[in-house]
Amino acid sequence: MIIGLTGKNGSGKGEVARYLEERGFHYYSLSDVLREAAQKEGLEVTRENLIEIGNRLRSERGPGVLAEAIFSRLDPEKHYIVDSIRHPSEVEVFRRRRDFFLAQVKAPQRLRFERIKQRAREKDPITFEEFVAVEEKEGVSSERAHQQLDKTITLADIVFDNAGPLKMLHEQVKEVLLSLSKKEERPDWDNYFMGIAKVVALRSNCMKRKVASVITKDKRIIATGYNGTPRGVKNCFEGGCPRCNNIEASGKSLEECLCSHAEENAIVQSAYHGVKIKGSTIYTTFSPCLMCTKMIINAGIKEVVYNVSYPMSEVSLRLLEEAGVLIRKLELVQN
């Protein structure tokens, strides 16, 4: 999961981040992007400079630019904590992941000022009046590209109240983690197998189209196949198929194509290794052509699940239906 942090200065976002880091979360801060930019420009890394650089980058490249820089680094297999989210457009970027949650850390203004004084960072406000003035400047701006912290806070999915001892804050974070973990969505079997088929397609050596199939039985993969030239023949992208390398128009000169189809390869591989596929389900990234349809029927496959319709598949689908083979089109769920 990805937990984004927002909140006023001195609220305790850093403490939440430290707690999560100790529990395996990988830390990023949108301020890191600003620090990198400041160093490249030879500027001192101060709060004022970072705010100015952030406003400039948002004006030049769009209000979500800082989030985009971090989003591109995220591995879907890891948990992340992302600090310093200060603009609604940054939230929009991270919401492209269904496992993103925005957390606000809040505390009373006077208490936050006392914390700022205790940490005694250079350039931090010295008086309460200076502290309030800086906070108002960061909270609201008539410029769309400037920080919009107040609006960002209203988008929070979670609120951590840091008005008490750290133990109380840590307990809140722990409870939220347990709650979110219970809500974590796993792919169903259809999306699981079709997702694997999408990865198998990356092994295709065909120049024209990358297609793959996965044959399953009892929720277990028993064969895979992708399109390309036959075993022992030069790969299509290396010149092995004259038709593909001639860049023929789609649907033309198919009788000259040397590439085997994904469904064909999955079925043939099963026979090659002596694996029974009668009564199985085949997941294929494209609906089968007529040749593969006949192979599917005669192999005893009971169900075809496909993701994208093949341009010339009407006859194939009618034939599968007539033969009593179940057919389903599956739209993949995006994370």
pLDDT one-digit tens code per residue, 251-265: 676 667 888 899 999
Among the listed residues 3, 192, 188, 187, the one whose alpha carbon sits nearest the alpha carbon of residue 95: 3
Q: How far is residue 315's CA from residue 303's CA, in Å, rounded to a whole number?
A: 17
Written as six digits, the tokens of 251 are 């649907």
pLDDT at residue 298 above 80? yes
Task: Give, in order, the Cα–Cα distances in Å from 321 to each of 281, 284, 292, 324.
Answer: 15, 17, 14, 5
Q: What is the pLDDT of residue 321?
A: 94
Q: What is the pLDDT of residue 272?
A: 93
Q: What is the pLDDT of residue 335?
A: 54
pLDDT at residue 125 above 70? yes
Q: In what order do the strands lie in the sheet with 80-83?
A: 26-29, 80-83, 2-6, 100-106, 158-161
101 or 58, which is more confident?
Answer: 101
pLDDT one-digit tens code per residue, 146-167: 778 999 999 999 999 999 999 9
- Give the pLDDT band of residue 187 (cuts 50, 70, 90): confident
Q: How far is residue 149's CA from residue 172's CA, in Å, rounded to a whole number?
A: 23
Task: Give, in order, the Cα–Cα distances in Å from 173 to each of 5, 15, 74, 105, 166.
Answer: 12, 10, 22, 10, 11
Average pLDDT for 173-193: 88
pLDDT at residue 194 above 70? yes
H helix or E strand, kind and range, residue 296: helix 290-298
238 catalytic? Reply is no
327 or 237, which is more confident?
Answer: 327
pLDDT at residue 121 above 80? no
- Of 90, 135, 138, 263, catalytic: 263
Choice among 155-159, 178-182, 287-291, 293-297 with the minimum mean pLDDT: 178-182
- Give the pLDDT band of residue 27 (cuts 50, 70, 90): very high
Q: What is the pLDDT of residue 63?
A: 85
Helix (H, G, I), strand (E, B) or coil at 6: strand
Q: How far is residue 246's CA from residue 24's CA, in Å, rounded to a whole number?
A: 52
